[in-house]
Structure 1
Amino acid sequence: MPKVANILACLTLVAVSACTQTPPNPNPRAAVPLQTVPIDLPRYMGRWYIIANIPYFAERGYVGSYAQWSLRADGKIDDSYAGHKKRLDGPLTKYHFVDKVVPGSGNAEWRVRLFWPIYVTQLTVYVDPDYRYTILGYPDKSLGWIFARSPEISDDAYRSLLARMDAMGYDTSRVRRVPQLPSQIGKPGFASPDGGG
């Protein structure tokens, strides 16, 4: 039985790897490593709406999505993702993960357990002083997220956050806004509910 489990784990890794292949990053700062910022973990908890992302395969086609982080007594973080597939009035899909803060990272690097034994690294690369906006990154910059405490932010705030991602070396042409309101579905710059750009 352990051999079967090992084979399944290897197949899962291959599948995840195949789904995360990305085109070359043209940003001249692409090779510069992401720098994390220290965070006040209790203040960081709560609901964060996904304003824009370079999504991983399981996020594509979701609208009205958000993350809910809760600090546990054992120091780990309950990480819940919720979103509606294609339509804001559709059923809410939820995923639950358990995250662990990497010691010595200033609470900015989390190991996210997708399912045992698969973990990924999530980096907090920006949070504003009022904890209204945050940017999460992935070490190779193939994934990234802009979060806000409110489901709607101003165009100026969005452009400023996108400029930060560009300065970090992200290929911002791959970032798509996530519709949070019915009026945003189908607008230029927002991800299509069918999962396309």
Structure 2
Amino acid sequence: MKYLMLVLVIVLAGCSSAPKGITPVDGFQLERYLGTWYEIARQDHSFEDGLSKVSATYSMQEDGGVAVLNKGYSKEENKWQEAQGRAYFVASSDVGHLKVSFFGPFYGAYVIFELDKEHYQYAMISGPNRDFFWLLARTPTISESVKAELLEKARVQGFSVDDLIMVEQP
């Protein structure tokens, strides 16, 4: 997994800006975002190849940043894989735009462009371009109607949703 995260870091190195036309959410409240999120759908990338039961847990660091623990189960290897990282706001802490690193000084974009602001139950995330997309939720599953609505919003924003991986959760 460390090798795969290194590949991600190299791909994303220096790419902490939002994709053109993607606007990070404002009115963001980090304290409400902290905790565990489950991956519902994602674009296919080698660093998550074959992983199911994927989650991301966010917690505060002493330096004001955010500790990130990504975890997924590899059926092929019959074991859990983890990647630990850290994230910092790119600008203001009330804007859902962070830069995240899983290795050294190299950061990639983490752009929250859709968020259930009332309950913080789902979020859509972009990387530095539209080749990176994640649909996250506070629970391992969400209703098909909510998922369809969110994926249509992602399609309208220019993300290719036809080939998304629907993540197997417990």
The two structures have a TM-score, normalised by structure 2, of 0.83
Distance 1:15 1:136, change over 3 A: closer
Provide the residue aligned with 1:66 in structure 2: 55
Cα root mean square deviation, aligned: 2.3
- SS of 1:122's partner is strand
Q: In terms of Rg, which structure is larger?
A: 1
Question: Per-residue displacement from partner, 1:141-194 (whole Å, max 9, x unpaired)?
Answer: 11100000000111111111101101211111232210003xxxxxxxxxxxxx
Distance 1:14 1:165, change over 3 A: closer
* Percent sequence identity over aligned pairs: 24
Task: Report the CA distance between 1:16 and its aligned residue.
Answer: 3.9
- SS of 2:162's partner is helix
Question: Per-residue displacement from partner, 1:26-78 (whole Å, max 9, x unpaired)?
Answer: xxxxx852111021100000000000001432111100010000012321000
1:167 has 2:159 as partner = no
Which structure has more RCO (C-alpha within 8 Å, separation ≥ 6)? 2
Which blocks of at least 5 consecutive residues in structure 1 are unaligned? 1-11, 18-30, 182-197
**Letter in structure 1 aligned against 2:138:** R
> Which one of 96, 105, 111 corresponds to residue 84 of structure 2?
96
- SS of 1:174's partner is coil
CA distance in 2, matches of 1:74, 1:91: 32
CA distance in 2, matches of 1:14, 1:92: 19
> Which one of 90, 109, 113 corresponds to residue 121 of structure 1?
109
> Which one of 120, 132, 151 corresponds to residue 143 of structure 1?
132
> Which one of 30, 35, 48 corresponds to residue 41 of structure 1?
30
CA distance in 2, matches of 1:154, 1:168: 21
Distance 1:62 1:106, change over 3 A: same
> Which one of 76, 80, 100 corresponds to residue 112 of structure 1?
100
- SS of 1:131's partner is coil
Distance 1:151 1:15, change over 3 A: closer
Distance 1:112 1:137, change over 3 A: same
Could you list the structure 1 runs, at least 4 aligned residues long, displaced by more than 3 angstroms after superposition.
12-17
Provide the residue aligned with 1:3 in structure 2: none
**Letter in structure 2 aligned against 1:144:** F
- SS of 2:101's partner is strand
Which blocks of at least 5 consecutive residues in structure 2 are unaligned? 1-5, 12-18
The two structures have a TM-score, normalised by structure 1, of 0.72
**Letter in structure 2 aligned against 1:123:** V
Question: Per-residue displacement from partner, 1:84-114 (whole Å, max 9, x unpaired)?
Answer: 0027x93221110011111236341111112
Query: Which one has a larger percent strand, Structure 1 or Structure 2?
Result: 2
Contact 1:65–1:178 under 8 Å retained in 2: yes
Provide the residue aligned with 1:130 in structure 2: 119
